[in-house]
Structure 1
């Protein structure tokens, strides 16, 4: 075979995003572009850079030898694993799993001739008017006028004249602080501004829903976390309480003590003080979190701050501020001008596997194939009535929750089975220095201290001090937010495997179709068994959310208009205080928060802790810039503001 081409497929260990390069043999793998051995010098060698401390400078080589594809360990420190077994030299065939450091790759040989290649995940956009997932929307909505010329032609300039805005005849309002998004990231930033002395009249939060947790709550409910269920989030962070004390655990324990529920009260405290050695990590109930945020919403005057609007574009003004063009409804347009702007737009889209998207488009079947973040209660209602088989794709936090929900449905109907389709085995978890994440039944488990270390530990300091290449390497070594190490759902998977109603299958999907009985048929290429067919009544895609800039028309327009740099994950490049340096406009400053900043100075950016930390350092930046009304908190003022919080009084000035 001449110049064979192979495809390597893996999920980025830092983010879970899919990578599927097609390369010609030979291929050299390494942490750096090290000098090749003499026998390869002068040849056309493809080089695959893997940014991880677990990967040696020149780690491995894939080459073609005697009509066979062979991988050779080049004297690496951590070795090369093929299908979970350490090898110094091994023949590779279609579907083999190749592990180099934390990178778990599936190898497909001669993809041009024999293999159907799957494109990267597509997305389901959030409807801009309803803020709910809408599979009928295109991937990216162009930023063009709707009927009238809005945004106006002046928005094509680098700097928009404030006078030109008024000349349009449309409403122009001004404020000191503008939060774009109005979700949890915006709420936490606004909350800290209020605590730091800024009057509510000086702040505007622009978004589509008045409740700052509305989208998060809906995604929780859709992914089968009801209000009485505990979130998969650590208890050290309280979006309604920047001080973190009393925590949700203490509040829940006090509530039970007042109701004479001594056992449960002490159980919560034991979980907090004994975690994780003797007890399971405490996490709060969803309803408690939302109720606590409602209390803080009233305390800081959020209803006065919030304003409904869909943001269409953001521009610098000619007087050192920022202008936001937004719509307040069909044909109802306006502008907001602000000196300080905060971007926390959250996840603009849901990842949806392309073969499942193709199925829905072909058969117009939106009931049998669903995304875990869409409303899909009908799946479990039918299972409870009639039984059936569910095929799950993805193996993260949401997948574990879907398995738990099906386990609950089996209490109503035992004729329910689960097929969990994974691309490849997961023999071991991410490793950094002497620590390594554990793996159970091919789920990589998130250590209990992951968000804590991000918050105040050495990992946060290490990441802040690192350059972009080092950050990429560190995040790849650490791994991202994964399934929590919780014994309750682990017992469910163990029980399901032993009883036979839960089965794990490995393979690459070739396509999905519908049979004559209206069941879904998934064609997979399974290692050692050739092509197989998996029949199911429902398919649930639990592969996650998409926060790349290109998935958001607003952010994509901003990046292209000002030629903003993106990091290796396609997210915004931010300073250590989460400011966008390239968007500095005189005294005007723009900050960002959440998943759109992943790859920057903080790891768990989309957690409660991550949103709180980004708000803290951003407001510190505003205080350093002498922004109007912002006072840096000290021991005395912070204690005074905490007392106001305890007494449920409006933030003191």
Structure 2
């Protein structure tokens, strides 16, 4: 996945009298802007051919491709509030219990620091992992890299391509089409960093890589928080929740966990690791909305393993979405047909990992891990506990818990992000069959062409002609398609065999470009 923001962004009206650089009503209401309109508002204009904003891993891999294809740093600007491209992603992995020492859910050759995919993460890690990749998935589980390995590798590549030279810190407010061609991308710089409140970047190409539009809180969680203003006992796994584990260190607690995906399995492993290593008495009740007890799928060729409530799959998507039959099926499909394909390959799932499977088996035998199937009807505080009413497979249930930890969906609607909402309202962008941004096979944001192009990659484009967009490899494929399209327009040099080989040797020797 590629992150630059994890919380919904809503437009805030300016406080006090208008100041130089403020967005006035005339600008906000118009879909097309002239240079004169910005001059009258006191917003300075900076020219640069290519602008990418978000600044997460999606921006990083796209810039990496363009730099390798010969685009100078002066022709690219990365507009971002992030200190590093992996900052937001690392936050999400850390709070969802995948710190740097643990393994991600990513393929060995999905290498954001290396567009060639060789040497892969497994190759770099050593001979033991070479055998793992050779024997997977029949004789061994899939290899996945450690989070820290990915971040350290990206940091090395960041300096090699001189990425910091292209970064401008701030928050992008909107993108509007320019009369005469191209686009204006409006940046709000950090307070005190510029003479005006806004800066306009005038460019021919724009790349949107804002990551997840926001956290998706289920209605019962939102209702509980609104009524009782309690953000400590009922939490989402993508929020900081270390206090939960720290409380369990001090006294026995009972935790209700909801969800059946990778985050739920990682949270369970953290709780049970603490239980084993510290001799804790933590009790776990695991609530599944749907219970999977066998292999399932629409046909014998599209089946996913399952048992004990979990649906098992090595990676976020079937491997054929990155280069096999399923990729071609989706690419050729349209409308309802494509939506159906996405529904078939979707659904919550988690990889098979022997360590936590053994833990859950032991928990079931010893009685401190119990499973319930159903949905939460209501929650309310009772003293220092949370009373939870559940409609379950065994009828209505009522229980009290020290904590409720929600490990369900991460993504809110794209309109929860103010820039994406503005693109839908003012830049000609539309939605695809599953409700995200509608892109073409070259990752161009359809409907926005204006003497230049707006591209988009990452989670906001899920549902387009290429599945797996919110994965490392998906971001690399998007970057390759965007770079190829820009090469056709004369912005970058073709990455033929000679140039590719030469650039790979520079990568191997860590030669700055």
Distance 2:116 2:356 in 1: 31
1:473 aligns with 2:340: yes
The answer for the alignment partner of 1:341 in structure 2 is: 206
Distance 1:625 1:480 in 2: 39
1:480 Cα offset (Å): 4.9
1:543 Cα offset (Å): 0.9
Contact 1:143 1:554 in 2 (8 A): no
- Worse-matched range after superposition: 429-438 or 228-237: 429-438
Which of 160, 183, 187 lines up with 2:60 in the alignment? 187
1:398 Cα offset (Å): 0.5
1:146 Cα offset (Å): 4.6
Of structures 1 and 2, the one scoring higher in RCO (CA 8 A, sep 6+) is 2
Question: Structure 1 stretches of 5 or more lacking a match?
Answer: 1-125, 134-138, 254-265
Distance 1:252 1:184 in 2: 22
Which of 16, 29, 32 lines up with 1:159 in the alignment? 32
Which of 246, 256, 261 lines up with 1:391 in the alignment? 256
1:449 Cα offset (Å): 9.4
Distance 2:479 2:15 in 1: 34
Distance 2:181 2:198 in 1: 23
The answer for the alignment partner of 2:495 in structure 1 is: 633
- Worse-matched range after superposition: 244-253 or 420-429: 420-429
Corresponding residue SS for 2:255: strand
Distance 1:566 1:370 in 2: 31
The answer for the alignment partner of 1:455 in structure 2 is: 322
Distance 2:318 2:481 in 1: 17
Q: TM-score, normalised by structure 1?
A: 0.74
1:444 Cα offset (Å): 0.7
1:326 aligns with 2:187: yes
Contact 1:276 1:448 in 2 (8 A): no
1:601 aligns with 2:465: yes
Matches within 5 A, 1:507-518: 507-516=374-383, 518=384
The C-alpha deviation readout for 1:602-647, integer Å capped at 9, x for no partner, is 1111000110111111111111222x2x012111111111011111
1:238 aligns with 2:111: yes
The answer for the alignment partner of 1:621 in structure 2 is: 485
The answer for the alignment partner of 2:281 in structure 1 is: 415
1:277 aligns with 2:138: yes
Distance 2:347 2:388 in 1: 29
Distance 1:581 1:363, change over 3 A: closer
The answer for the alignment partner of 1:311 in structure 2 is: 172
Matches within 5 A, 1:471-510: 471-480=338-347, 482-510=349-377
Contact 2:59 2:78 in 1 (8 A): yes
1:560 aligns with 2:429: no
The answer for the alignment partner of 1:592 in structure 2 is: 456
Distance 1:469 1:527 in 2: 33
Of Structure 1 and Structure 2, the greater helix share is in 2
Matches within 5 A, 1:78-227: 133=7, 141-142=10-11, 144-147=13-16, 148=18, 150-152=22-24, 153-227=26-100
The answer for the alignment partner of 2:304 in structure 1 is: 437
Contact 2:316 2:349 in 1 (8 A): no
1:401 Cα offset (Å): 0.4
Distance 1:233 1:295, change over 3 A: same
Distance 1:363 1:187 in 2: 41
Which of 245, 253, 256 lines up with 1:380 in the alignment? 245
Distance 1:639 1:452 in 2: 27
Which of 210, 216, 219 lines up with 1:354 in the alignment? 219
Q: TM-score, normalised by structure 2?
A: 0.93
1:547 Cα offset (Å): 4.7
1:300 Cα offset (Å): 0.6
1:563 Cα offset (Å): 4.7
Contact 2:260 2:407 in 1 (8 A): yes
Of Structure 1 and Structure 2, the greater strand share is in 1
